[in-house]
Amino acid sequence: MGGETMKISRLYLAFVFFILYMPIFYLIYYSFNSGGTMHHFESFTLDWYKEVFDDTRLLIIVLHTIIIALLSSSLATIIGVFGAIAIYYAKHRWKQTLLTLNNILIVSPDVIIGASFLILFTIAGIQLGFTSVLLSHIAFSIPIVVLMVLPKLQEMSPTLIDAARDLGANEWNVLTRVVLPYVTPGIFAGFFMALTYSLDDFAVTFFVTGNGFSTLSVEIYSRARQGISLSVNALSTLLFLFTLFLVVVYYIMTQRASVKGGKK
């Protein structure tokens, strides 16, 4: 009975992954089509990828996207780590309130968040462009980092901190030599999650971008509206492979960290 249940669960899981990944593989498959359509595959070609790399404007947009993602995820990680530590040490009543406020930003629809930022930047007189996109990405990435770091803090035994203080460590030493090293896996998890969210965000960025500044997701949407072009397929394939590369790097780092932890 248990074996049958396990087999059914595996088949169901395989079916779910097939449904999720089939559109992506369909898109990748036709990015190599010389026919220019997604109906009939004529022959293999790399012309669409060449068109992507020959487009100077598109390469600038890719550079903008990477810079925004790296800056926003780095700053959000720093702020999120200290935010998680503040929530961890807060009193129980305040802790629940802060966690609720943090979770509201995660479950809120992107359209509402994007419209709210647009109104805020308009009132504050912040010009739409690089700054507005960066601030928005930092804001919606911070709650993600908090949720990645906070469980690691909760796993940490209070006796570690007490022992460090008994040995003469001050608050700075406790933070840098005990707390931060312990929650490092959570920090990396939060950073890569924030990086991924920033790279593929569309809804929030669509509201706060302007003055000639654009990101990859907004550009793909704009090109798709103009008509079907397989250069969009090629561009989306490259973005998917880059995201997959980040996931693999994060997986390798976590595996190495777990192996080192096991040896210790």
Tell me, yes or no, whether 192 lies in a domain. yes
Please tell me the predicted confidence (pLDDT) of residue 261.
Answer: 58
Do 207 and 117 form a contact (C-beta atoms < 8 A)?
A: yes
What three-state secondary structure class fits 205? helix
Tell me, yes or no, whether 50 lies in a domain. no
Q: Rounded to an integer, what distance in angstroms lies between the CA atom of residue 49 and that of residue 32?
A: 8
Please tell me the predicted confidence (pLDDT) of residue 249.
Answer: 83
Tell me, yes or no, whether 17 lies in a domain. no
Q: Rounded to an integer, what distance in angstroms lies between the CA atom of residue 191 and that of residue 198?
A: 10
Tell me, yes or no, whether 79 lies in a domain. yes
Please tell me the predicted confidence (pLDDT) of residue 2.
Answer: 57
Q: Which residue has the tokens 């933070």?
A: 175
Q: Rounded to an integer, what distance in angstroms lies between the CA atom of residue 64 and that of residue 215?
A: 6
Alpha-carbon Rg for the chain, nearest whole angstrom, is 22
Q: What is the 3-state secondary structure (H, E, C) of 15-36?
A: HHHHHHHHHHHHHHHHCCECCC
Tell me, yes or no, whether 15 lies in a domain. no
Do 98 and 90 form a contact (C-beta atoms < 8 A)?
A: yes
Q: Rounded to an integer, what distance in angstroms lies between the CA atom of residue 70 and that of residue 241?
A: 17
Q: For the chain, how many structural domains are there in total?
A: 1
Please tell me the predicted confidence (pLDDT) of residue 264.
Answer: 53
Q: Which residue has the tokens 């397989």?
A: 230
Low-confidence ranges of the chain (pLDDT < 70): 1-3, 227-228, 257-264
Residue 27, class by beta-carbon neighbours within 10 Å (0-12 exposed, 13-18 middle, 19+ buried)? Answer: middle
Residue 132: domain span = 56-227
Do 103 and 83 form a contact (C-beta atoms < 8 A)?
A: no
CATH number for the domain that contains residue 111: 1.10.3720.10
Please tell me the predicted confidence (pLDDT) of residue 259.
Answer: 65
Tell me, yes or no, whether 151 lies in a domain. yes
Residues 6+ positions from 236 with CB-CB distance below 8 Å: 27, 31, 220
Q: Which residue has the tokens 């550079």?
A: 63
Entry pTM: 0.80
Please tell me the predicted confidence (pLDDT) of residue 262.
Answer: 57
Tell me, yes or no, whether 98 lies in a domain. yes
Tell me, yes or no, whether 199 lies in a domain. yes
